[in-house]
Amino acid sequence: MKILELKNITKIYGKGDSETKALAGVDLTIEKGDFCAIMGPSGSGKSTLLNILGCMDTPTSGEYILKGQDVSKMKNKQLSKLRNQVISFVFQYFALMDEYTVFDNIMLPLNCQKYPYKEKKDRVKYYMKRLGIEKYAKKKPTQLSGGQQQRVAIARALVSNADIILADEPTGALDSTTGEELMELLQEINESGKTLILVTHNEKVAEKCNYVIYIEDGKIVDKLS
């Protein structure tokens, strides 16, 4: 079952002589439960594509259908709701709030959701335990290793129970052993029913995914299983 579809998506930055076409007519369909890697050289449009998929940016033209809704016509308030409930991001450098504890960082996506506090607290505890970081609940991110911080970032992405998880170079800031452990964890998350899409330069990381989409000069040029 299709969970998202891009139809002839273009993204242009700047005007006139400074105009840059980051995406040039992208067509893409992602099925529910897919585990997909996006690869391509620097400047190929990978991050722009991920940002549009995550409703962090809007296309210049084309259609983006997400769970049956045309995202490309939505207002900021609607997009914000999608970002909070349907899509979660895992960033390369974790994007944690250093002044907050691990617990509070993971709680952040739930702060604007209308659930009883106990339910939110229980959900945070569940994901901390699942990711093996419950003993760090009261620590600050700066007191953790890179691998531990990335697990916090993943717990934060999972806690909102989003259908789609987008990851931008999730192993880029990790050593090879920790990166391997992270990919095994992402595979487990995918097997639990989540749809995962990640951008990577690492071929070993891409091999862990179900298939790989290659993008070059703003266009999808290949798809390999």
pLDDT in tens, 119-152: 999 999 999 998 889 999 999 999 999 889 989 9
Contact 38, 198 (CB under 8 A): yes
The answer as to whether 175 is a domain residue is: no
pTM of the complete model? 0.88
Q: Is 24 helix (H, G, I), strand (E, B) or coil?
A: strand
Instruction: Look at the block and give the residue holding tokens 């006139």.
Output: 16
Contact 81, 126 (CB under 8 A): no
The answer as to whether 7 is a domain residue is: yes
Contact 26, 219 (CB under 8 A): yes
**Domain, as residue range, for 225:** 1-86+199-225
Q: How many domains does the chain have?
A: 1
The answer as to whether 74 is a domain residue is: yes
Residues in the chain: 225
pLDDT in tens, the chain (225 residues): 899 999 999 999 988 778 899 999 999 999 999 999 999 999 899 999 999 999 888 899 999 999 998 987 788 888 887 887 889 988 878 889 999 999 999 999 898 788 899 999 999 999 999 888 999 999 999 999 988 998 999 899 889 888 999 999 888 888 888 888 888 888 998 999 999 999 999 999 999 999 999 999 999 999 987
Give the single-character DSSP code of 212: E
What's the CATH code of the domain at 10?
Answer: 3.40.50.300
